Every structure is written in C-alpha cells, then in structure tokens.
Chains A and B, each alone.
Chain A
Amino acid sequence: MQAAVILLPGLNRDRDMIAALTKITGQPPLTIWQTETTIPEDVDLIVVPGGFSYGDYLRCGAIAARMPVLQAVREKAARGVRVLGVCNGFQILVESGLLPGALMRNASLKFVCREVKLQVSNAATLFTSGYEAGQIIRCPVAHHDGNYVADAATLKALEDNDQVVFRYAEGTNPNGSINDIAGIINAEGNVLGMMPHPENLIENAHGGEDGRKLFEAALGLAAA
C-alpha cells in the first residue's frame, strides 16, 4: 500500500512520521505539500503529522485546514481512502470538518510531553484491528491543546457508534479531554484522529513497539 504524508509549514513531526512509515513499509512515503490540489490515485493512506502548523495562530490547525491540500484530502476521504491525523494532524482534521468536535487548551494549561496509557476502545477499525478490544497500550503524547470537547449530542453519537477508538487509561488523561477521549474515527470508519504519537513507539530503540500495529493495520500489513 502507498502512504503519503501531508506537509505544511510549522509541522515538526513530519520527519518522525516519514521515518516510521519508511521503516514499516520498506519504502519512503510520498510527501505532499500544502499547495497541491490533488493526491495521486495510488495513495491508500494519507497521514497528517504533528507539529505547529502556521504557528498555531488563530486556533490549532485552523489555518492549515483551509489550505488547498486539505480539500484534496477531503475528496479522498469521501472516496474511502484512509486518513490518519496525529496531534496537530488531529487538530487539522477536526478544523477541516473531517472529524467532529474540537480540541482546546489542556485543562492544566501546561504543555504535556510524556508517555500515557491508551485503552483501545474499538479494535474493529481499519487502524486498530491489530489490537485486542480493551487492550492497554503505551504511547507518547506531546501537546498543549489536546482537550477534546464536543456538544452532548455529538458525544452521544460518538459513543453510541463506537467512534471513540482510543481513551486515556489508568488515570493518565493528560489534558482533561471529555470521556478520556484520545482518538476518534469518523462514522464511515476511514478517518482517524488521535493526539498521542504512535509513530514514536514503533521499534525497540523507542523503548517499545506498541504503535507499530496501528500502521501495520492501516497499511494492510498486519500478520495473518
């Protein structure tokens, strides 16, 4: 499967994401600059990485979400192509309307950079089929605005449809996110956004491989 990484000014986790995808697939992903209006036909997985696009001006992800390439991502997503947004990428997907809700300043007002525990709340998605339902995995977080909020109706729909894919577990919620939400998927099941960084835990040199299965599943590489 072909992966592509979206590039925007101010992102800084793009290199980590490219390195992770290269290690997992054996080939470097395509990179697509923000001004592009199309994404190649053969791309199966689009990744919006983390960082501080446009300096987080106005709101995190707000300006990035209005760049031409996001319209191309939207068109691909509507046709069922898999899209993964991590950290600022999650914020961008939320701002672009591809995922519901919003990500606000951490309740502590502090930037948090540490490891958390994640519960895989839904292991039946295209991204999490390599995990067991309810499994607790380790994952690093590094963000200032990861406090997920949504109105009551949106939250109920997310919970009723099993769209909450990852939750902070064992009291490790680092940001005050409602219902301990760390990652959500769209109703169609092909767009996942998450604050934690699975790309930073894919090999033993990282101290573990808990994030690797997410990419293997998303790329259709999961061992049978």
Chain B
Amino acid sequence: MIKARVTVTLKNGVLDPQGKAIGGALSGLGFNGLRSVRQGKVFDIELEGSDRTAAESELKAMCDKLLANTVIEDYSIALL
C-alpha cells in the first residue's frame, strides 16, 4: 500500500475571503504580527500496490480531474 498526502491551495492572487476571516479571528485572539492566512485542503489517500511512479501519475490525474480546480487552485503531492 502507498500512502500519499495531496495538498490543494488557492493560487496566488485569488482572493480568499475564508482565510481572511480566519486571520481576523486569530488577530482577535491576540496573535499579533499575523501577515496573512490562506485556507487550503488536505487529502490523505491510500492506494493499492507498491509502484510509486504509477501512484504519482495516478494522483496527478486525480488532482487534475477532480481534487483541484486548476482555474483557482494549485496542488502538491507527497508520497509518505
């Protein structure tokens, strides 16, 4: 079995109202010196088999087809 973690984040320049609200709440809690907060998503995925190269291309296809909206999001894949 192969374990992977896919991280999806908003592209630079795409406004993130949720991140902004979270940042506001953190400042309200007294965390000073906060420059910005961007919210993203994490997917922990387990795959059958042991071929890491095949797993990586499979995960990339998953990102391109569903997990990320590449109009507004970037993704990164880490095999664990």
Mark interface residues in B7-27 (1 if CB within 8 Å of A CB, else 0).
000000011011001000000
Query: Do A66 and B65 contact each other (CB < 8 Å), given the known contacts A109-B17, A176-B17?
Result: yes
Whether B71 lies near A66 (C-beta < 8 A) is no
Judge if B57 is at the interface, Cβ distance under 8 Å: no
Nearest-neighbor residue (CB-CB) of B66 within chain A: A66
Query: Do A109 and B15 contact each other (CB < 8 Å), given the known contacts A95-B69, A102-B69?
Result: no
Bound CA–CA A151/B72 (angstroms): 8
When distances are taken between beta carbons in the complex, the residues of chain A under 8 Å from B71 are 100-102, 150-151
Nearest-neighbor residue (CB-CB) of B70 within chain A: A102
Whether B66 lies near A149 (C-beta < 8 A) is no
When distances are taken between beta carbons in the complex, the residues of chain A under 8 Å from B17 are 104-109, 147, 176
Whether B66 lies near A58 (C-beta < 8 A) is yes
Bound CA–CA A101/B69 (angstroms): 10
Bound CA–CA A6/B21 (angstroms): 35
Dominant secondary structure at the B interface: helix
CB < 8 Å: which of A62, A100, A104 contacts B66? A62
When distances are taken between beta carbons in the complex, the residues of chain B under 8 Å from A95 are 69
The interface size of chain B toward A, counting residues with CB under 8 Å, comes to: 11
Whether B65 lies near A104 (C-beta < 8 A) is no
Dominant secondary structure at the A interface: loop
Judge if A59 is at the interface, Cβ distance under 8 Å: yes
Whether B65 lies near A149 (C-beta < 8 A) is no
Nearest-neighbor residue (CB-CB) of B65 within chain A: A66
8 Å CB interface, A129-151 against B:
147, 149-151
Judge if B67 is at the interface, Cβ distance under 8 Å: yes
Whether A102 lies near B65 (C-beta < 8 A) is no
Whether A149 lies near B69 (C-beta < 8 A) is no
Bound CA–CA A147/B15 (angstroms): 10
When distances are taken between beta carbons in the complex, the residues of chain B under 8 Å from A151 are 71
When distances are taken between beta carbons in the complex, the residues of chain A under 8 Å from B67 are 58
When distances are taken between beta carbons in the complex, the residues of chain A under 8 Å from B21 are 109
When distances are taken between beta carbons in the complex, the residues of chain A under 8 Å from B69 are 59, 62, 95, 102
Whether B15 lies near A107 (C-beta < 8 A) is yes
CB distance from B22 to the nearest CB of A (A): 10
Whether A105 lies near B18 (C-beta < 8 A) is yes
When distances are taken between beta carbons in the complex, the residues of chain B under 8 Å from A109 are 17-18, 21
CB distance from B26 to the nearest CB of A (A): 15
Query: Do A149 and B14 contact each other (CB < 8 Å), given the known contacts A58-B66, A66-B65, A102-B72?
Result: yes
A sample of 28 inter-chain contacts (CB < 8 A) reads A58-B66, A58-B67, A59-B69, A62-B66, A62-B69, A66-B65, A66-B66, A95-B69, A100-B71, A101-B71, A102-B69, A102-B71, A102-B72, A104-B14, A104-B15, A104-B17, A104-B72, A105-B17, A106-B17, A107-B15, A107-B17, A108-B17, A109-B21, A147-B15, A147-B17, A150-B71, A176-B15, A176-B17
Instruction: Show the binding face of A for B, using Cβ within 8 Å.
Output: 58-59, 62-63, 66, 95, 100-102, 104-109, 147, 149-151, 176
